[in-house]
Amino acid sequence: MIIFKDTKSIITKSQIMNIKNILENRFIYPFPDKISPFGKALQEIANTQWIDGELKDLLPLATREKYKHTNTGIMSARWWPTTPTLDRMIPLSRFMLWAMYNDDMYEVATPNEIHFAQERSIAVLKGKISPEQAQIPLAYQLAAIREDFLKFIPSESINRFADSLNEYFDGLEMEVLYQQNGTFPSVGNLISIRVRSLMVCAFVDTIEIQTGITLPDRIYKHPVIKRLYHLSSSIIIYFNDVQSLHKDEVSGRLYFNLLGVLQHHYQLSKEEALEETIRMHNEDLEEFLLLKSTLPDFGEWQEAVIEIIECMGMFIKGWQTTSLLETKRYNNNGFPQIEELPKIE
């Protein structure tokens, strides 16, 4: 167990190690733990072509090094481990890096700045405006993602992916409002908003590139599939909020960390909040596994649906393994501080 003094205390190095033990031993996933053989190549591309290349002018060298140590290329190899070719993996890995950069940049922005970035980002992804017209820092990355995605999936799928990212920006804007007002959401509101702002649903939409199969729109709208999307997100939320506790304390984001919210509303100790988070996690994981084992009949698409759900499980397991073994993002000084991030203009 891990015991904390109060919600504003800074976690010590030994407590961080205890958190890692909890993440490894209390969050149990019966999903395959795989890694793509393209991981090292993707990390080299991320480090040299993107972080020190296309994105070089956004951040100083020291901050770029933190993004290198985040290991987004290796993350990608674990999130999409069965993707058959490097050319399919490259836009997925670019999206992973964009997600980290974008989230860091706009979690300290104003709601108006987020809304502006939202409109321009979605317009670029849907091919409605050019990167030059967008006038946002990461527009060229989004245009490159769109161009490469179009090599493997139809524009309708990219539009669905863009709609999921639109939901992400909605969630991010709501988070920022709570943060700026210094108020805690209810537990229900936090989960509802975080399902959007964690961006997992957009990641699930990219599974088409990994499998090479585009399902009919009616299947994506099926209530069971929509619920599995939600559960994929919520399961990662619980893990992420334990994992991010130190990062959120340092950055002042405990208003939107589940443990902080549970402590505030129910006067729990951090130990009790941790146990409740694990209980909620296990309840949603149990529901995910039940739905996975009792799917309705999708006819000729049954095997493809099963494969997508298997990939959802690999996302969950891949995030755990990467977090424990391969990224320094959640360690002391492993993530960019507010003053290191580019100013939004």
Please tell me the predicted confidence (pLDDT) of residue 15.
52
Residues 6+ away with beta carbon under 8 Å from 188: none
| pLDDT tens for the chain, residues 1 to 345 | 222 333 333 444 445 558 889 999 999 999 999 999 999 999 999 999 999 999 999 888 888 998 999 999 999 999 999 999 999 999 999 999 999 999 988 988 999 999 999 999 999 999 999 999 999 999 999 999 999 999 999 999 999 999 999 999 999 999 999 988 999 999 999 999 999 999 999 999 999 999 999 999 999 999 999 999 999 999 999 999 998 887 788 777 789 899 999 999 999 999 999 999 999 999 999 999 999 999 999 999 999 999 999 999 999 999 999 988 876 665 555 556 555 566 565
CA pseudo-torsion sign 119, 125, 127, 129? positive
Q: Tell me the CA distances in angstroms from 256 to 184, 234, 288, one per residue in order.
A: 7, 14, 24
CA distance 256 to 231: 19
Please tell me the predicted confidence (pLDDT) of residue 345.
57
Buried b / exposed e along 69-89 (16+ C-beta atoms within 10 A):
ebbbbbbbbbbbbebeeeebb
Looking at domain 13-30+37-340, which CATH architecture does it have? Orthogonal Bundle (1.10)
Please tell me the predicted confidence (pLDDT) of residue 343.
58
Which two tokens mark 249? 């304390």
Please tell me the predicted confidence (pLDDT) of residue 16.
52
Please tell me the predicted confidence (pLDDT) of residue 179.
87
Please tell me the predicted confidence (pLDDT) of residue 300.
98
